[in-house]
Amino acid sequence: MEELVSIVIPVHNAEKYLEQTVESVLAQSYKDYELILVDDASSDGSAALMKELAAKDKRIRLLSNEGPHGAAHARNCGIDAAKGRYLAFLDADDLWLPEKLKRTLRFLKKQDASFVFTGYEFGDENAQGTGKVVHVPSSLDYEHALSRTVIFTSTVLLDMKRLGKKIVHMPDVESEDTACWWQILKSGVSARGLDARLVIYRRPAASLSSNKMVAVKRIWKLYRQQEKLGLIKSVGCLLGWAWRATARRL
């Protein structure tokens, strides 16, 4: 299991996109992985589709998250079930380019890192690249991450032998992925960034993350309630976050 990568995909009413997402995993040039699909009480045809996909490849494992409990709980179920030394996340509507796993694993080893993330490209409803590529810094620590939420969930690769599952468990809060990255970085870990376009972030016009006021409220809540930051520091971090978030989308 030393080189096995566990890939966790939370699934909630993702029938429309899931097959294309899974196919992007099956097309990876790196083949030593398990793909864990966690159904979070979907009410569409996702559960049946998951069974069809699992029948195609023995590396696909199915879990059911009684609920719905949300993405954090579903990912945590996947984390608990993961057998690999390395852990990657992929959202049910995003796509990986074929070299994603190979390049991130090679980069993690070269950097002697336990936490790496990559660049990505915004995609439209059909996951066609829009030409807007998000570049990432070579490294990111906790203080800088507070005002720079550039770590995108579907780009992350973690060394579980070094980190352990406890610190990787996602908090049950809004923007649970960002809260998780901060949780890891706060422990003294520095995340290493591979500035390469390896993921397509499908962003439908009506997606929650595209609602700017919702995003502002979520990040503010993280600063004040999750991280317990003071008012002045929270304002400073929010301004930095807003400026960078806007620049990424222009």
Read off the pLDDT of residues 26-51 as tens digits, 9 standing for 90 and up: 999 999 999 999 999 999 999 999 99
Helix (H) or strand (E) holding 48: helix 46-56
Q: Which tens digits make up the pLDDT trace of 59-79?
A: 999 998 877 889 999 999 999
For residue 206, name the pLDDT band (cuts at 50, 70, 90): low
Q: Which residues pair with 140 in a beta bridge?
A: 191
The Cα 143–Cα 25 span in angstroms is 33
Among 53, 78, 68, residue whose Cα is nearest residue 165: 78
pLDDT of residue 68: 80
Handedness of CA 210, 248, 190, 89 (dihedral sign): positive
Flag whether the pTM goes above 0.85: yes
pLDDT of residue 91: 97
**Based on the structure, what is the number of domains in the chain?**
1
φ, ψ of residue 120 to 5 degrees: the values are -155, 170
Handedness of CA 221, 222, 226, 230 (dihedral sign): negative
φ, ψ of residue 88 to 5 degrees: the values are -130, 150
Q: Where are the beta strands (DSSP E) in 54-136?
A: 60-64, 86-89, 95-96, 115-123, 129-134
What amino acid is encoded at 97 in this protein? L
The Cα 101–Cα 74 span in angstroms is 22
The Cα 124–Cα 21 span in angstroms is 14
Q: Which tens digits make up the pLDDT trace of 140-192?
A: 999 999 998 899 999 999 999 999 999 999 999 989 999 999 999 999 999 99
The Cα 106–Cα 100 span in angstroms is 10
pLDDT of residue 205: 63
- Cβ atoms 174, 220 nearer than 8 A: no
CATH number, domain containing residue 236: 3.90.550.10
Q: Which residues pair with 120 in a beta bridge?
A: 134
pLDDT of residue 208: 44
| Domain range enclosing 13 | 5-249
- Cβ atoms 38, 8 nearer than 8 A: yes
Over residues 228-238, the mean pLDDT reads: 95
Share of the chain above pLDDT 70, in %: 95
pLDDT higher than threshold 60 for residue 9: yes
55-63 long-range CB contacts below 8 Å, 24 or more apart?
56/26, 57/26, 59/33, 59/34, 59/35, 60/22, 60/34, 60/35, 61/34, 61/35, 61/36, 61/37, 62/37, 63/36, 63/37, 63/38, 63/39
| CA distances, 215 to each of 181, 203, 208, 246, 250 (Å) | 17, 14, 8, 12, 16
Q: Give the Cα-Cα-Cα angle 203, 219, 136 (nearest 5 degrees).
A: 60
